[in-house]
Amino acid sequence: MYNGCFRRAPWKMGLRREMKRLEDICFLIEAKSNSERLPGKIFKKFSQTTLLDVAINKFLSSPAIPNNQIYVAGHGEEVLDLASKYTNINLFKRTDNSVSDSATIRQIYEIFDHIRHPFFVEINACCPLLSVNTIDKFVEEYLQSDHNGMFGVVKRRTFYWDSNKAPLKECTPHLDTKKANVILEAAHCLYAGSTDDIKNNIHMGSFLHKGDPDLFIIENEGECWDIDYDWQFKIAEKMFENII
């Protein structure tokens, strides 16, 4: 049973010189006002609140995440004004360069040139159904992981084809999903990594080998509902109101 504290991980020799500690983690929310597909979605009224408020309060609601390790990296006056009311967390003003289409990983995460934490855990503010319990489990598993990076995924038991219409996995007769192999799909709501890697333009890992980054399976895929468009915003709002 979760007791409000994260366990320290026994570290395997040779993978890192030092183990991860909770106090070494920056808990990050990146937010910008210039969303192209749904302008202003991060500060738009969302069930009597906003997506940014929901995200910040998820970190604040965790019994184990220190408030002084929570950071909002915001771009745009509306975002900065909204986040500034939370005086118990840290606010960082992003440059225009960090939100440009040509920005590198290091430029997107320019905040890490200014803070001391060697690791980060980030949540996507456009996933308002993500639970505090899932965030806490992710952090605990990351502390125990042997790898610099960790990425949230969900299980899929279905079939995929590539852009040339070739099957990525062998299909079963009648496309029977009960017999299909499980595939892990990016959830795009939970991220973790090393701030030194970010400075070398590596996000969570190379994505070329097993464990690089490590994968965290989110059991309830409904938590991963990601808002890009207005119709997704409206559906998420209704689902969120059924939760609170």
Q: What is 22-149+188-243's CATH superfamily?
A: Spore Coat Polysaccharide Biosynthesis Protein SpsA; Chain A (3.90.550.10)
- The reported pLDDT for the residue numbered 84 is 96
3-state secondary structure of 13: coil
* E strand or H helix at 56: helix 51-61
pLDDT, averaged across the chain: 90
List the chain domain ranges.
Answer: 22-149+188-243
The answer to whether 94 and 73 have CB atoms below 8 angstroms apart is yes
Contact 33, 43 (CB under 8 A): yes
Identify the CA nearest to 181 among candidates 155, 154, 153, 157.
157
* 1-19 pLDDT, tens digit each: 333 444 444 333 334 445 7
Residues above pLDDT 90, as percent of the chain = 78
In angstroms, rounded to a whole number, what is the distance separating the alpha carbons of residues 32 and 222?
A: 24
Show the CA angle centred on residue 80, arms to residues 78 and 81, nearest 5°: 65
Does this model's pTM top 0.85?
A: yes
Q: Which residue would you say has higher pLDDT here, 24 or 169?
A: 24
Contact 29, 125 (CB under 8 A): yes
For the stretch 159-187, pLDDT in tens is 888 999 998 877 777 888 888 888 899 99
Query: Mind listing the pLDDT tens digit for each residue in 124-141?
Result: 999 999 999 999 999 999
Predicted confidence at residue 244, as pLDDT, reads 65
pLDDT of residue 15: 43
pLDDT at 176 (0 to 100) = 85
Choose between 18 and 28: higher pLDDT: 28
Average pLDDT over residues 99-125: 96
Residue 138 to residue 241: CA distance in whole angstroms: 24
Q: What is the mean pLDDT of residues 204-214?
A: 94
Residue 179 DSSP one-character state: G
